[in-house]
Structure 1
C-alpha cells in the first residue's frame, strides 16, 4: 500500500532525501510533479529548485534540478530563492515558475519568473515579475489557478494579483492587505467559495495558520478561524501550497506544509500533507495522521514497537541499538519516539547483515509534544538489520535579526523502539 508518511524524511528512487520545500504540486499527464527549494545544510542560500514526480504521492522519482543557480543576478551565487510555484499558461501552454529571490539579509526582495516548454525540463530565468512596469518586490508568495485558467499571485500581508494569460506579468491587483502580518499564502476553491490560507510571522517556528474565506478572489474576505485546532500549530507545520489531487472521479484539496529544521534543512526538514475538509463552508484540517492512503483519503494505523527498549538521552556517547529481522520481500523500519520542546537532532544508522549501511539525520524538536514515527527508512531487503539511534548533541535553534531566539531548549532524544512496515 502506498502511504503518505508525515513528519519523517521521504526518500526517492535513488535512496536520497526528497529535498523539496516551500513546495507546490503540478498534475500533468496523469503524473504529479513536486517542485521545491533544494535546501542546503550550511546556510539559507539558493541551491536550485528541485523536481520529483510520482503517480501515487508516496513513491518519488527524482527528475532534475529544474532551475539551477544562475551565473549572476537575482538568482546568482550567494542569493536566496524561495517558495517556487509552477503554473501552466492557458494560452501558450508553457510552464511558468514564480519564486522569491533575495539577498542573504532579506533586504533585496523580488518576485522572479522562469519558464519551460515541458513540466520537468530546465527552466529559463527571465528576471523580475512586473506590475505596472515595476518589479514586484515582495517575498513570501503563493499562486492559485482558477477553474477557468485565470492565474493569481498571492503575497504576504494579503495582496493578490491577477496574472496575464501567459502568466508572465501581474496585470491587476484584485485584493490588498487582507491579512496584515500574514505570510506563506495558499488558496483553493470549493463549491464557489475561495479559501485563503496564511501563517503568522514566527521565523522557522510553526504557528496556528489561519483561513480567510470569500465568494470571489476579489473578496470580500472574512476571517474563518484557524486551519487546525488551536494550539496544534497546524500540526507542527507551516503551509506551503494546497494541491488538487485526483481521487476516483473527484479532485480534492490536500494541504501541503513544511516542518522546517534549521539549520539542517536539506537533511532533516520534513513534510506534513493532509486532506482538507470543508464543512458548512468552513475549511479546516482534521486530526493529525502520521500515515494515510492517498487513494482513499483515510488514515492508516502503523504497527507498534516490535523491538527495542525505551531510550532517553542527550549524550552523544550513548545510543539506542537493536537488531530487527525483515521478512522475505523486505520492508521498511520505523523508529518510534517522542518529539518535544527539549529535543534535538539524532543520527539514525542502519546496518544490514551484508554490511550495507545507511545513515540519516532526524530532528526530534517540536513545540507541541507528539509521539509516533520520527523516522521511516527507504525500502530495505529481507534479512537482519541493526538499528542505532544516537543524540548528536546539537540543538535546533535560530535567532531573528532582533535577537529573538526560536527552537529547542535541549538536545534530548527519546526512542520508544522500532516497528516494521511491510
Structure 2
C-alpha cells in the first residue's frame, strides 16, 4: 500500500516493506527524481560493535514512497584500518555535484573510536549519484582542525562551501577547492562556545530569498536538545542567532530529534522540509530534563572532561530502529519556525 502523506516519528518503510536506513542523511534532486542517502544502520544493534554498514540510497518522485537503490558506498569489513570499516565511526555523508568535473563528491565524518574529539574526513567521488565511488582522501583534517558534523553547499556560480563543527569549539565556514575534494584555506569562524553542549553541531544550511540560514543543534550526542536558527546575508556571514525554531516543544528536544538537512521541494513556491533523525525512539517515554539540567549531568568544571558515555554514544546504541521526523518550515520575516504535525501532505502547499 502506497504512502499518501508524511508521518513524522512513525516507522517509515521503503517500497519493499523494510525500514529506511538513511540516517544523518540528505536529499538530492536530479532529473525529476529525489535521492535520499545516509548512514546504513541496519546491522547496528548496539551489541555487535557495528557502527555502520556503508551508505545507502533511496529514490522517490513523490517524497512519500522510497525505492531501495542499494548500498552506494559499501563498508570495508576486511580492512580494520579503513575509515569505512563497520566498526569505524562514520557519520553524516554529504554529496554535492560538481558541474565542472561532472563528478559527485561525497564527504564523510570519521570519529576516532578511542577519542571522539579526534575527527577526520574521508572524501570519495563518482560519476553517478548511485556510484561506484572512489576514495580520494582519507584522514583529512581540513585546515588542520578536528572536523565534526558538517554540511556542504554549492552556490549558483559553482563555488562550494563546507560548514563544520570545529570539535567542541566553534563553527567554521570554509571554501572548497574547485574539485570540491579539499579546502582552499580561506575560512570564517562562527558561534564560538566554551564547551559542549553549547558548541553547535549538525549544521544544516539552506538559502531563501537571498538569505543564508544555518540550523544547528547543541552537542549532546544521541540525546536530543533544542535547535538554533541563525541567518546571514552572505555565505560567510556574520550570522545572527534568532533562537529555537521548534514551536511549543516543551521537552526542549527538537521534538525528540536532530536535523540532518533542509531542502526546498521542487515546483513548490516556498516549501522547505527539515529532515531529522529520532535516534533513540525507545527513549521517548523517558522524562527528559531541561537543557541546563542535561548539561550539568554530563559535564562539570571539576571534571574538566566531557563524558560521552553518559550521552548515549557509548556503548554503541541500537540505531537500526531510529526513526525520522520530517516537518515543513514556516517563515515569519527572517525567523524560521517548525510546528509539530502528526501527518502532512506536500499537496497542501502552493
TM-score normalised to structure 2 length: 0.78
How far apart in 2 are the matches of 1:198 and 1:173? 22
Q: Which moved more, 1:61-70 or 1:142-151?
A: 142-151
Are 1:164 and 1:170, in contact at CA under 8 Å, matched by a contact in 2?
A: yes
2:130 is aligned with 1:120 = yes
Matches within 5 A, 1:28-107: 28-39=30-41, 40-42=44-46, 43=49, 45-70=51-76, 71=79, 72-105=81-114, 106-107=116-117
Q: Distance in 2 between matches of 1:252 and 1:145?
A: 19
Report the Cα offset of residue 10 of structure 1: 1.0
Counterpart Cα distance in 1 of 2:226 and 2:234: 24
Deviation of 1:107 after TM superposition, in Å, equals 5.0
Structure 1 116/207 Cα, relative in aligned 2: closer, same or farther at 3 Å?
Answer: same
CA distance in 2, matches of 1:36, 1:136: 24
> What is the CA-CA distance between 1:135 and the residue it aligns to?
5.9
CA distance in 1 between counterparts of 2:244 and 2:50 reads 29
Residue matched to 2:6:
4
Measure, in 2, the Cα distance between the counterparts of 1:61 and 1:32. 10
Please state if 1:178 is matched with 2:162.
no
5 Å-filtered alignment, 1:313-332, equals none
Report if the CA contact (8 A) 1:195-1:283 is conserved: no
* Aligned residues of 2:271 and 2:349 also touching (Cα < 8 A): no
Post-superposition Cα deviations, 1:124-181, rounded to whole Å, max 9, x if no partner, equal: 222237577x665312112222333322111123111111222111114432142531
Aligned to 1:294: 346
> 1: CA distance between counterparts of 2:259 and 2:192?
15
C-alpha separation in 1, matches of 2:261 and 2:163:
11
8 Å Cα contact 1:159-1:173 kept in structure 2:
no
Determine helix, strand or coil for the equivalent of 2:235: coil
Say if 1:34 and 1:51, in contact at 8 Å, map to a contact too.
Answer: yes
Distance of 2:54 and 2:70 partners within structure 1: 10
Does residue 258 in structure 1 map to residue 277 in structure 2? Answer: yes
- Greater gyration radius: 1
Q: Give matches, 1:339-358, under 5 Å.
A: none
Compare the two structures and name the one with the higher strand fraction.
1
- Determine if the alignment matches structure 1 residue 164 to structure 2 residue 183: no
Distance in 2, Cα, partners of 1:150 & 1:129: 24
Q: TM-score w.r.t. structure 1 length?
A: 0.65
Alpha-carbon displacement from aligned partner over 1:92-132 (angstroms, at most 9, x marks no partner) = 12111111012323254101111110111222222237577
8 A contact 1:74–1:127 mirrored in 2? no
**Match of 1:273?**
326
CA distance in 1, matches of 2:178, 2:264: 21
Seen in structure 2, the aligned counterparts of structure 1 residues 120 and 138 have a Cα distance that, compared at 3 Å, is: same
Q: Secondary structure at the match of 1:291?
A: coil
Structure 1 residue ranges without an equivalent (≥5): 299-422
> How far apart, in 1, do the equivalents of 2:175 and 2:331 lie?
25
**Secondary structure of the structure 1 residue equivalent to 2:148:** coil
Distance 2:175 2:347 in 1: 33
1:111 to 110, 121, 139: 121
Unaligned runs of 5+ in 2: 194-198, 281-311
- Which of 4, 23, 26 aligns to 2:25? It is 23
CA contact (8 A) 2:54 2:86 kept: no
Assess if the C-alpha contact under 8 Å between 1:131 and 1:170 holds in 2: no
Tell whether 2:244 aligns with 1:221: no
Please state if 1:140 is matched with 2:149: yes
RMSD: 2.1
Matched, 1:187 2:205: yes
The whole-number CA distance in structure 1 between the counterparts of 2:139 and 2:207 is 25
Distance 1:295 1:17, change over 3 A: same
> What secondary structure, in the 3-state scheme, does the structure 2 residue paired with 1:212 have?
strand
CA distance in 2, matches of 1:121, 1:205: 33
Q: Using a 3 Å threshold, how does the CA distance of structure 1 residues 108 and 218 change in structure 2: closer, same or farther? A: closer
Corresponding pairs, count: 294
Q: Secondary structure at the match of 1:234?
A: coil
Relative contact order, higher structure (CA 8 A, sep 6+) = 2
Distance 1:175 1:107, change over 3 A: closer
Q: Find the aligned partners of 1:147 and 1:31 in 2 and give their Cα distance.
A: 20
Give the whole-Å Cα distance in 2 for the aligned partners of 1:184 and 1:45.
18
Determine whether 1:283 maps to 2:327.
no
After TM superposition, give the deviation of residue 3 of structure 1 in Å.
1.0
